[in-house]
Structure 1
């Protein structure tokens, strides 16, 4: 006589698991009845799902292939749900898929499955809330992801293709059929697809697509760090579920770094790594249970810390491993550069990896210093072109925070622009400036990025204004400045140099072009370099020519003391002149052919280094205050060419391209071929370069375009049709790069209106915000 085996299994319902024991010969119907006794749910309203299939009541547990320790899902039937249509749609789809798995023929199977998916998503309640969430959870409750993945794994011909098309259609339809507010509610479904497909192979193309889709959702999803889902966070995806993707991608990228240049990093893998890593970093850096930077091994003081201790420590090990591999990779890159075989390599993925490693390093005690120590050794590999150099130095700045509470707040009176800005910035704790700045002008409603950009431009122009004694403009290039040795006439001059360094650092950090550039002698000193004769050509053309003449003069002439020079420099201070010896006993030391090189070197050093050493030192200190680490100040300037910082601070020096301007402008209320738009571009095209700049400044508060032109701006530009009377001038919303004007009846009237705002004093006055 055969005996039925005894089984223990679990039935999951509403986030809880019920434990059952039964004989394998017991029927599903008997199980339903036991569930009714425990839960009160009528048998007629119960569905039991196992491995994506609904269990038939008349069959035994053995016939349903229920294994010991198996997990079954209990879901309510259509009569108990507020979404009976959704249940019916998914049930029909699952029925088709099950028949395909059994090898049965289904006419237009793929088309029908795709239609069911589209209908299911399109009937989702459009307002985000419990109703929409409940509707979308049906897909999971019916184990639809597992059913479709089973079809993908089916050996029957055509099933894999049907499943792949269906799953890809679901990913696409989440975007096309749902409003943005609901797209994130599909993240748990996409996560389930990822978990199921990853069991097949981590390089499966469909898995990679699902992983990228989930990563895109992670960019904006509200991530909550919890060990398990509770009723209050049932919509969330936990860090515990995200971390395996971070680990998987980190391992893959580490291997790629190790194999460079034979294997090149994939842009898609790097992008996925970034997308999964950012929410993890965000939670770690913002979590109240942590003290930053984190010291390892972690202390078991806080319960909140214990929840994520494993992920925190694992991320540190990922950082250490990838940084070591990146160091080795950069070393091999240097050899590629030496052998001139680097032209075909796309460097952008490696720069992105470095950016993420830099962000991780800020979380752990001592790691940021370790990161920059390695990068300083590999400067040659990282400074191959302007984009690489810019990418490198921008990593040295803290990340600008968008959270208002973390920003340094300022209220500035325009009539006291420089003095009040000095008080707010010079007296602030350096750390308080790392989160960003929120500012507004007194008695003005305008706030936001547009006003901040205006403030940067105005303050920097005031600092370098020649009516102030701080800086001297180069005679050969009035855009370039270096410290003024006579700045001591201002009692607070050293504090103002510190303030100036902070302002230039903040402008770079906020990516604002302020129209100011540094002279070579100033730039080199900030990088810790010595100054040569050729370096002073723009700063002091007269001294340059004189020194050049001394060095090139015939030896006999200079030895005859025809120039009557000694090791002395004449300095003018407050209207009087005094002699400064360039070396001990310099007044009695005649310049001759043997010591003239020493004389010129000492003359240049005294004029451009010694006389302004304190000013340069305070500027450098202020600039370093804005960097993530003060110790990076010299490395910052050593990593750039002078022309690089020209482009970063001044932007494009070219006339504004109306073609480029037009290509980056969109319209609201107008069409591109409306008369007013056609007139607008004709008028702008005829304007002088300065008028174009004034129009652009009025529109965006951008006075100097980035070197990439309009493509380098933070957003596209917009022209809006306003409902104002045609007698009104155009207005602007600079934060949103928005210009507004009514439908002027003629090109002549429009030209009159635009000519007014194209004036310097009007173009620098802003619209609403």
Structure 2
């Protein structure tokens, strides 16, 4: 498929902005000076500039003219001649001074015309003229950490001797000991003192010395350096408390920067970047992030910008013909996830930055363009990877449609990684204006392969709940696959199943005692149900119990629920039960039973009305939502809304903002508004009247019942906090299907293909008669026969496949005068060898009756 045919492929040709395209004008009120001043004191100021080859090319407008000026060192009256562009930053000049003098940036103070220059200002902003003289006042070398300076000097001395070819016994242990001692001496009492301690390590070029040793032609030196660096990074992670990790990040970035792009350093660079990501994750924790102010977070973005660019360049250009290098990609995506989090946190900390990022650089970011550059590069990754992934999903969809054997295909082998990639793209899409909608639209176009990936690859241990944020991108089977993971497994965590021993004549009362009064935790395991004075046990009895209890709970005789006039299998809570504490306990019981039925994949033949489901999902109920629950009210309200305004205003209907209800045999008036009895309904307020009427009759009047039902349902979930997510992830029709199963006619061909024969052969007359008789049954009779056979009246969402095993049609030793029997636990129907089709038909029609199929089975 050519790239141009893929939706959104026009994004492929997007290019990086040139430096000239940045807005170099800084409005006086945007806080640039405050940021620059703060950066000077930031713990990251001593290393962030070294992460790029030229700060000026990334941050300011470059003018063609050159400046030449002098930097005078007051310590020894030496002058250094500097050439630079007016757009270069003071920070970049500090780098040049560092190279000339060895004085680290954090020890420099540049004075011009009596004012200290701020590192983020350009030379033009500082009014530096040709042949000007700037004074360098070196800050006093830190004397607060003499021991740290001595340890670093010993470390560099040892490394220097090794680099010169000297043989030092136990060199690795000496270097490791220095590194351990250095970290052990990190001040614990003062965070500021700890920052100075680590700045000494970088400013003394200790990381450069270790990398120099690693680049040595002497093989032993390479091994010593590699093991020492990894040991040092491991000690940082394990020895220091998490809240000190922010001050360690610059050191790790420095190692990565020095190794990046060197062919022989790929392995060590990869390891260092992994440690960097670990530290960046840790500084996202509350106890560490509180140590970094907004400037520090912005400077952190500058430090990680080269790594973001590295990933961006690896994913560009988009090529539909190239296979995904998933090993490299997964590593990059893991790192990108951390980098995106850092960029997002930095943008969120900036009060002038919107929640969603525009791809046009705002003037407000001109004084700190690294944030915009990072967000733009991350967008390029998102853009190209979304196109690449859609192409992969298109190809996967084609292979699924062709039903071809493609187990060895590259796309199939890589498909397990697709969801991890898409998850990261979803996170990135939230950063940019319009990208979230673009991402969801792309996924909705690829619903078939995406649903396949969910069913095939998503496990309980995976964190892929983002897939349920948008209902349109997956089919019901995929949603159900994920939502079932919110229920605890019937597992080995429970030594014994919960035993339920029920007398059929007291079905509801005894079931309430077992379920409603049980500790919710005890219901998370498996169940063992047995009816008193009956031999049958096993899954079939359990399925029958669920079906019978739920049917009884929602029966009109209990007054807990009201059936919709046009669909007696659809229910909502009875408003009249609100004041009865006993009834409210039964709503908890009902919620638990429905959740247990879903957990055990039992279809119970009832559904919840739309207005009931919407309230469980925390959604608003409108007039359209009550059309099934109360067709008369719905019709009346529609007429009121559609009536001629003049007729309504004439008060011909005599309506006011009240509702009449019957309570204990008498009429009661409920005001929809304070003083509603005196407020007439007219053309201007009729919408408000209809809405208040709906809310009062179908929301506030059943709010307690809904809350108790929801509480009971939540008791059965792995965590009760997931109950809102469970309902909001589904449409009402989806929930109906999961709870009620397939209610239409049963396909005979599918039934036959999932049936195996024991004692009979497919060619036997009795088998031919059987299927011919079943084929002539009404849909209701087929469902009753299936219920007699399996204790499943409606097939699961997946059809016969959802039963978990084939049905069995077996010979029976019983005389031909006997009815068929069933072993529902094994889906086994025992059929005597009836002598004729008419005899078999009579017997089958008897068992396919509602009053017969209950209380059946022998096992």
**Normalized against structure 1, the TM-score is what?**
0.56
Higher RCO structure, 1 or 2 (CA under 8 Å, sep 6+): 2
- Residue aligned with 2:834, SS: coil
Matched, 1:349 2:448: no
Helix, strand or coil at the partner of 1:732: strand
Take 1:353 and 1:334, find their aligned partners in 2: how far apart are those partners?
Answer: 25
Q: Size of the alignment, in residue pairs?
A: 464
What is residue 430 of structure 1 aligned with on the other side? 520
SS at match of 1:357: coil
- Deviation larger for 516-525 or 583-592: 583-592
Distance 1:253 1:717 in 2: 46
Are the aligned partners of 1:336 and 1:342 in contact in 2 as well (CA < 8 Å)?
no
**Residue 461 of structure 2 is aligned to residue 335 of structure 1:** no
SS of the residue corresponding to residue 691 of structure 2 reads: helix
Which of 660, 671, 677 is the aligned partner of 1:587?
A: 677
**Corresponding residue of 1:466:** 556
Q: 1:123-171 deviations in whole A, cap 9, x for unaligned?
A: xxxxxxxxxxxxxxxxxxxxxxxxxxxxxxxxxxxxxxxxxxxxxxxxx
Deviations 1:652-675 (A, max 9, x none): 121222222112111011100111
Specify the SS of the correspondent of 1:649. helix
Partner of 1:699: 789
Does structure 1 residue 530 correspond to structure 2 residue 614?
Answer: no
In structure 1, the partner of 2:662 is: 572
**Shift of residue 758, structure 1, vs aligned partner:** 2.1
- For residues 146-225 of structure 1, the aligned pairs below 5 Å read none
> How far apart, CA to CA, are the structure 1 residues paired with 2:534 and 2:822?
14
Given candidates 476, 487, 490, the residue that maps to 1:386 is 476
Contact 1:698 / 1:765 at 8 angstroms: preserved in 2? no
Deviation per CA, 1:3-22: give whole Å up to 9, x if none.
xxxxxxxxxxxxxxxxxxxx
**TM-superposition CA deviations, 1:88-133 (whole Å, max 9, x none):** xxxxxxxxxxxxxxxxxxxxxxxxxxxxxxxxxxxxxxxxxxxxxx
CA distance in 2, matches of 1:469, 1:481: 11
Rounded to whole Å, the distance in 1 between the matches of 2:569 and 2:744 is 14
Decide whether aligned partners of structure 1 residues 407 and 583 sit closer, same or farther in structure 2, where only a CA change above 3 A counts.
same
Shift of residue 376, structure 1, vs aligned partner: 5.3
The alpha-carbon deviation at position 378 of structure 1 amounts to 5.9
Q: Are 2:811 and 1:721 equivalent residues in the alignment?
A: yes
Q: 1:485 to 1:501 in 2, by over 3 A?
A: same
Shift of 1:737: 0.4
Q: 1:541 aligns with which of 628, 631, 647?
A: 631
Which residue pairs with 2:727 in the alignment?
637
Tell me how far 1:613 sits from its aligned partner. 0.8
Q: How far did residue 727 of structure 1 move?
A: 3.0
Equivalence for 1:450: 540
Contact map agreement 1:502 1:625 (CA 8 A) in 2: yes
What pairs with 1:63-462 in structure 2 (closer than 5 Å)?
254=330, 262=388, 264=392, 325=424, 328=427, 335-339=438-442, 341-342=445-446, 345-358=449-462, 371=463, 375=465, 379-380=469-470, 383-401=473-491, 405-462=495-552
Q: Does 1:512 align with 2:602?
A: yes
Indicate if the aligned counterparts of 1:508 and 1:649 stay in contact, CA closer than 8 A.
yes
SS at match of 1:672: coil
Residue 149 of structure 1 aligns with which residue? none
- Residues 607-665 of structure 1: per-residue CA shift (max 9 Å, x gap): 00111110000001111111111111121111111111111111112122222211211
Q: Secondary structure at the match of 1:703?
A: coil
Residues 344 and 598 of structure 1: CA distance in aligned 2, closer, same or farther (over 3 Å): closer
Q: Do the aligned residues in 2 keep the contact of 1:680 with 1:750 (CA within 8 Å)? A: yes
Please say if residues 494 and 525 of structure 2, whose CA atoms lie closer than 8 Å, have aligned partners that are also in contact: no
Task: Check conservation: 1:469, 1:490, Cα contact below 8 A.
Answer: no
CA drift of 1:252 comes to: 8.6
Aligned to 1:667: 757
Kept in 2: contact 1:567–1:589 (CA 8 A): yes
SS of the residue aligned with 1:405? coil
Secondary structure, counterpart of 1:355 in structure 2:
coil
Q: Which residue of 2 aligns with 1:747?
A: 837
1:403, CA displacement in angstroms? 8.0
What is the RMSD computed on CA atoms of the aligned residues?
Answer: 3.4
Q: Which has the higher mean CA deviation after the structures are superposed, 626-635 or 483-492?
A: 483-492
Instruction: From 611, 621, 629, give the equivalent of 2:711.
Output: 621
Counterpart-to-counterpart distance in 2, 1:666 and 1:723: 18
Between 551-560 and 375-384, the greater mean CA deviation after superposition: 375-384
Secondary structure of the corresponding residue to residue 809 of structure 2? strand
* CA distance 1:396–1:356, change in 2 (3 Å): closer
User: Is contact 2:578–2:702 with CA below 8 Å preserved after alignment?
Assistant: no
User: Distance in 1 between the 2:332 and 2:854 partners?
Assistant: 51
Q: Contact (CA 8 Å) 1:527, 1:634: kept in 2 or not?
A: yes
- Partners of 1:732 and 1:599 in 2: CA distance: 57
Contact between 1:351 and 1:391, CA under 8 Å: does it hold in 2?
yes
Moved more, 653-662 or 622-631: 653-662
Measure the CA separation in 1 of the matches of 2:602 and 2:676: 47
Counterpart Cα distance in 2 of 1:448 and 1:766: 13
Question: CA shift at 1:257, angstroms?
Answer: 7.5
Gaps of 5+ in 2: 1-324, 335-384, 397-405
Verify: 1:767 aligned to 2:844, yes or no: no
CA distance in 2, matches of 1:326, 1:430: 38
Aligned to 2:739: 649
- What are the equivalent positions in structure 2 for 1:4-23 lying under 5 Å apart? none
Q: C-alpha separation between the residues in 1 aligned to 2:386 and 2:496? A: 40
2:569–2:606 Cα contact (<8 Å) kept = yes
Task: State the alpha-carbon separation in 2 of the partners of residues 558 and 721 from structure 1.
Answer: 73
